[in-house]
Amino acid sequence: ILSAGCTTNNSVKVGIESNFRPFTYTEAGEGKGFEVELWQAIAEKANLKYELIPMEYRELNEAVKSGKVDLAIAGMTINNARKEKFAFSDPYFQTGLVILTASDNEMIKTEDDLAGKVVATRLGSTAYTYTGDIKGIKEIRGFPSITEAYDQLKDKKVDAVVFDERNAHDFIQKSGDGKVKIVGEMLNKESYGVVSKKRNQYIGRVNLGIEAVVKDGTYAALYKKWFGS
């Protein structure tokens, strides 16, 4: 008899997000992105067989909690609130939040300039929590998908978006149509980690895998491929 948590086929189920470029996304049903390739390298080092399960961001937490997936790699910021509910690997990516505005907006340059403004972001994200703490914002519009927030900004229905820097950059390049820009410096520092249930049998091995891909240069090569030098 297998005890709870054991699987018969030894394949680790790994949740990814289908819309978080350039980290994890799906194209023609296939998982792509920096994190997908990083995970492949980590799994090889950690000797883990796996299967990728793409889903919406809002489904990921529940999928990890319920055991539908054993792990998730999807630009999940490590923070104390989340550490109460989940186990995280060592950080594998340093980043932060940025402000996006319309290209012709000359009023908003820093987070203080968001006072009296309408800001869009994604529900449940660290950006949503962060903007909630900025004094004087007129309204925060949280969307289930960040694409909706970006579209609102393109259409000038909101004054700004706050979200993860690399994703924002990717959006501007691929779908911004010259209408949107990033202003100022990163607002904070965040690190992404692989996430699992608190009681799990994987995070230790994942950490060894992360260490190994950093050591042998695989991490640097993937970073260069996806983000430039």
The interface region with ligand ARG, picked from 45-53, 70-78, 108-116, 170-178 by CB under 6 A, is: 70-78
How many residues does this entry show for the chain? 229
Report cis status (omega within 30 of 0) of the bond before 91: no
Task: Work out which of 89, 121, 125, 207 binds ligand ARG, going by CB under 6 A.
Answer: 125
Q: Does 74 bind ligand ARG (CB under 6 A)?
A: yes
Strand ranges, E, within the chain: 11-17, 19-20, 24-27, 30-32, 49-55, 71-72, 86-88, 93-95, 97-102, 118-122, 139-143, 160-164, 180-183, 190-192, 195-197
Q: Does 161 bind ligand ARG (CB under 6 A)?
A: no
Interatomic CA distance for residues 58 and 51, integer angstroms: 20
Cβ 136 to ligand ARG, closest distance in Å?
A: 23
Q: Does 20 bind ligand ARG (CB under 6 A)?
A: yes
Cβ 172 to ligand ARG, closest distance in Å?
A: 17
Q: Which residues pair with 141 in a beta bridge?
A: 120
The interface region with ligand ARG, picked from 74-82, 102-110, 173-181, 216-224 by CB under 6 A, is: 74-82
Kindly give the pairing relationship between strand 190-192 and strand 93-95. Answer: antiparallel
Site for ligand ARG in 129-148 (CB under 6 A): none
Q: Does 105 bind ligand ARG (CB under 6 A)?
A: no
Rg (CA), the chain: 18
Cβ 183 to ligand ARG, closest distance in Å?
A: 19
Task: Work out which of 12, 14, 38, 77 binds ligand ARG, going by CB under 6 A.
Answer: 77
Interatomic CA distance for residues 33 and 215, integer angstroms: 21
By beta-carbon proximity to ligand ARG, the closer residue of 89 and 126 is 126
Interatomic CA distance for residues 183 and 108, integer angstroms: 8
**Residues within the interface to ligand ARG (CB under 6 A):** 17, 20, 57, 74-77, 125-126, 164
